[in-house]
Structure 1
Amino acid sequence: MSTRTIPEPHRTAVRRGAPVRRAGARPLRRRRPTRWAGPGPGPRPRLRRLGALPWISPAVVLILAVVVWPVVEMVRTSLRRIDTSGVDQGPAGFGKYRKLFADPRLPDVLTWTAVWTVVVVALTMVISLALAQLFDQRFPGRTITRWALIAPWAASVLMTAIGFRWMLDQVAGVLNRLLLDLGVIDTAEAWTGDAAHAKPWLVFVAVFVSLPFTTYTLLAGLQTIPAEVYEAARVDGASPLQTYTRITLPLLRPAFLVALVINLINVFNSFPVIWGMTQGGPDADTATTTVFMYMLRSYDVAESAALSVVNFAAVIVMVLVFLKVSGWKEAAR
């Protein structure tokens, strides 16, 4: 039986673990990647350089069209002279801003706007926190009460405001009829006829329509707190007050900040509640800056645009100051 002899170079290759090549075969060459050349789109690696831009570009275009362009147009309008028929009479510089700040009604409007925002937001957050903690517990009828809370949110805010206006009407309002029948009042009251009576009702309606969103935001935050944390606190002997102040409130802080910031913006810019109930009257006594801006558009569009610019700047500054003071970066980690 003959033995096949492997040539010396092949034996060396086998010993080193390299692949054995048959005699006469072409040497193996490493294939180089083909380069793109010619018309048409480039290869995929070049598209990857764009990152997420192709995906977020529709949102960017929408923001530019819905937010940025109206702001630019608003600023441009505030610097023009536009008559009541809408005809542009040329540049006005900062004259409309000087006219706006010279309006004797503006200080009272600014004061009421600040009071309105602080009172409505504070009451909304406190009541919503209590409701969220209530709905986080198990009790009979919890599902029904949760659905009932959505009703003010599901209905139109303007429709709700108009409904309350009719309830408070001096002649046909059900509130006056009820109080008269119970003997609480002797004559029907004009609850929205003057600022002293109207402002508390405006605050009540604003809180009423703000509760659903805020309550569900805080309820979602409460339900993300692990039950093991409370169990560990009970094992350590923590009292209910200590558990609430040292566990619940710190862990609820991110949801609380979200609800608070959104409420600040919504209440400051609120229009349907006041316009639907009092239309800012009498004589702008119940008007906030947003409602007053709408009232000015009948007399001077450019001055109304100037107040819009002031409103927009106030919202930006208010949110930035609040986020700086609250330390939202640490809370988001």
Structure 2
Amino acid sequence: MQKGKFWKTESGLAFFFLLPACVFLLLFMFYPIVYVILMSFFKVNKLGDLVSFSGLANFRFMFDRPEFWQIIVRSCVWTASAVAVKTGIGLVIALLLNVDFRGRKVARSLVIIPWASSVPISAMIWQWTYNNDFGLLNHTLRTLRIFGEPPIWLAEPRSAFFANLWVDIWCGIPFMALVFLAGLQAIPQELYEAAEVDGATPFAKFRFVTLPLLSSVLTVATLLSILWTFNDFNVIYVLTGGGPGTSTDILITYIYKYAFQYLRFGPAAAMAVITFVILLTVSILYARSYFKGGGVY
């Protein structure tokens, strides 16, 4: 090939169009990731500049703080609880929406609303709902006399955690439901008809037809949900900001506090690396278990 002819070929044209995207990824994704990893091993000033190599000092600093381990446990409980409920309710909704009934299109549209809405806006609406003085939730509880005096949802550690958890679940259910619904509609109806001929009950059809053919969709959807939920910053930041105290902080909000409130960029970077390692480990174990079990069809 003569010099200067490369960009006139089909491959050269493809590289030419991919070049801006590659530059964007390099500058705004890979460079920040590498720089954060470097920050975790350096002493960093309040402007974010690397001052001197400190080895594992930032990691030791965080490991010596009891609240750090509490936040890791809380992050795992937060993720496991939210993903389990999202998956369970999402699957039930998908099964219901897969049935032919009048108004099904309207029902599908309504299900999308929490997911289509901006998460910070949804969190702000729920913040008003949880308000002790004029919020709809406590007003309803007082009217129905379910509680003598309803809790101040966002001011008490335990109730604040569950209030945050419910909002995250509420925002995440539509995605799971729609993904599962797409998977259900891809299952051939002939398999259900054959199962009926064999005398299978509805539960048997679900157990031996639906679940095996939906397993790949379930795996991918739950893995994505784990990654997103573990890093769900918006809900907690808008509702409680991690408070009261640090009682509703998870790793991602704690990293934000250390970086942009305390200006301790070194420990914040160390926590970011720890978060990356946790999620990478979960993803690898999840993928190995999935492929080992023959989950690909």
What TM-score comes out, normalization by structure 1 length? 0.81
Match of 1:93 among 41, 55, 61: 55
- Note the C-alpha offset of 1:56: 5.7
Match of 1:310 among 266, 274, 282: 274
Match of 1:203 among 165, 171, 189: 165
**Structure-2 change in CA distance of 1:248 and 1:97 (3 Å):** same
| Whole-angstrom CA distance in 2 between matches of 1:164 and 1:48 | 52
Q: Which structure 2 residue ranges, 5 or more long, are not aligned?
A: none
Match of 1:137 among 99, 105, 109: 99
Amino acid at match of 1:244: F
Whether contact under 8 Å (1:162, 1:276) holds in the other structure is: yes
**Structure-2 change in CA distance of 1:181 and 1:63 (3 Å):** same
Whether contact under 8 Å (1:257, 1:328) holds in the other structure is: no
| Whole-angstrom CA distance in 2 between matches of 1:301 and 1:94 | 14
Residue deviations 1:132-167, cap 9 Å, x none? 000000111111111011111111111111211121
What TM-score comes out, normalization by structure 2 length? 0.90
| Whole-angstrom CA distance in 2 between matches of 1:39 and 1:82 | 47
Amino acid at match of 2:283: V
Q: Say yes or no: does 1:279 pair with 2:241.
A: yes
Match of 2:257 among 295, 303, 308: 295
Q: Say yes or no: does 1:75 pair with 2:37.
A: yes
Residue 182 (structure 2) aligns with = 220
Share of identical aligned residues, percent?
Answer: 29
Match of 1:176 among 134, 138, 143: 138
Whether contact under 8 Å (1:81, 1:91) holds in the other structure is: yes
Amino acid at match of 1:281: G
Residue 285 (structure 2) aligns with = 321
Q: Which structure 1 residue ranges, 5 or more long, are not aligned?
A: 1-35
**Structure-2 change in CA distance of 1:208 and 1:101 (3 Å):** same
| Whole-angstrom CA distance in 1 between matches of 2:76 and 2:48 | 32
| Whole-angstrom CA distance in 1 between matches of 2:30 and 2:16 | 20
Whether contact under 8 Å (1:171, 1:188) holds in the other structure is: no
Whether contact under 8 Å (1:108, 1:285) holds in the other structure is: no
- Note the C-alpha offset of 1:248: 0.8
Three-state SS of the structure 2 residue aligned to 1:166 is: helix
- Note the C-alpha offset of 1:48: 8.0
| Whole-angstrom CA distance in 2 between matches of 1:322 and 1:41 | 46
Residue 81 (structure 2) aligns with = 119
**Structure-2 change in CA distance of 1:145 and 1:247 (3 Å):** same
Three-state SS of the structure 2 residue aligned to 1:90 is: strand
Alignment coverage as a number of residue pairs: 295
Looking at secondary structure, tell me which structure has more helix per residue.
2
**Structure-2 change in CA distance of 1:39 and 1:134 (3 Å):** closer
- Note the C-alpha offset of 1:60: 4.5
| Whole-angstrom CA distance in 2 between matches of 1:191 and 1:117 | 20
C-alpha RMSD of matched pairs (Å):
2.4
Higher alpha-carbon deviation: 211-220 or 199-208:
199-208
**Structure-2 change in CA distance of 1:241 and 1:57 (3 Å):** farther
| Whole-angstrom CA distance in 2 between matches of 1:130 and 1:302 | 44
Residue deviations 1:10-34, cap 9 Å, x none? xxxxxxxxxxxxxxxxxxxxxxxxx
What pairs up with 1:244-259 in 2 under 5 angstroms?
244-259=206-221
Q: Say yes or no: does 1:102 pair with 2:64.
A: yes
Residue 28 (structure 1) aligns with = none
